[in-house]
Amino acid sequence: MNLDNALLGFWFSVIAAGSTMLGWVIVAIKKDLSKKVIALTLLFAAIAMLAVSFFELIPGSIDAGLGSLEIFIWLILGAGAVQVLRFIGDKFYGPKHSLQQSATLVAIAVALHNIPEGAAAIATTIVDLQSGIATTIAIALHNIPEGVAIAATALAAAGSRTRAFVLVSIAALAEVSGAGIVLYESAALSEILIAKLLTLVAGIMITLSVLELIPNGVKSLRSLRDLDH
């Protein structure tokens, strides 16, 4: 663990968070973004999230000394956090909420899970620079379709680029705040604590990929295929 990399890791997190805004730019430039493009970006995001979870975050936690039971527990906690958020969304808006409410819910969901993501980029950089770079790239790649998802839903609901910009900005700033917390408390971080944090993030990423991104991407592609026939 190299605490000298903390500031560098913070800027990695800022870069990754900034890529969320690219999603807004894409949608703002082309409001009629095709369903196929959105579906493919969601699937690409899921692949990136699963890859960084299984090939970077979890192995990194094992190398840091986290046991199998602890890894399982923190993965479950990450998955549980996603499920709680989905439950709260259904309670507030109902399972068939409006597009405008959907945009807000998506932004809140992304913002909440972006906090540990921002922490992940800086935490992995503190542990190992190469892992930090790989994690930052993966997070940045999947942040783009997240920005697209928020902006596209907001535009579909209200047709407002300003509203879309605000919601996407909230998600991006949440990621920076997560990095800021780790930067401020980096001296107090232990390798095991960072490993637990990374495993929690892996649980969030895996659950979002399996329950949200992949099903929505596949569903969109199937609907397009049915229309073609």
Asked if residue 47 is part of any domain, the answer here is no
Q: Which residue range forms the structural domain that includes residue 163? A: 3-27+53-222
Asked if residue 43 is part of any domain, the answer here is no
Asked if residue 123 is part of any domain, the answer here is yes
Q: Give the number of domains in the chain.
A: 1
- The answer, as to whether pTM is greater than 0.75, is no
Asked if residue 83 is part of any domain, the answer here is yes
Asked if residue 7 is part of any domain, the answer here is yes
pLDDT of residue 71: 96
Task: Annotate the chain with DSSP letters as a single string.
Answer: --GGGHHHHHHHHHHHHHHHHHHHHHHHH-TT--HHHHHHHHHHHHHHHHHHIIIIIHHHHHHTT--HHHHHHHHHHHHHHHHHHHHHHHHHH-TT--HHHHHHHHHHHHHHHHHHHHHHHHHHHHH-HHHHHHHHHHHHHHHHHHHHHHHHHHHHHH--HHHHHHHHHHHHHHHHHHHHHHHHTGGG--HHHHHHHHHHHHHHHHHHIIIIIHHHHHHHHHHHHHHH-
Asked if residue 34 is part of any domain, the answer here is no
pLDDT tens sequence across 140-176: 887 887 787 778 767 665 557 787 888 889 889 988 9
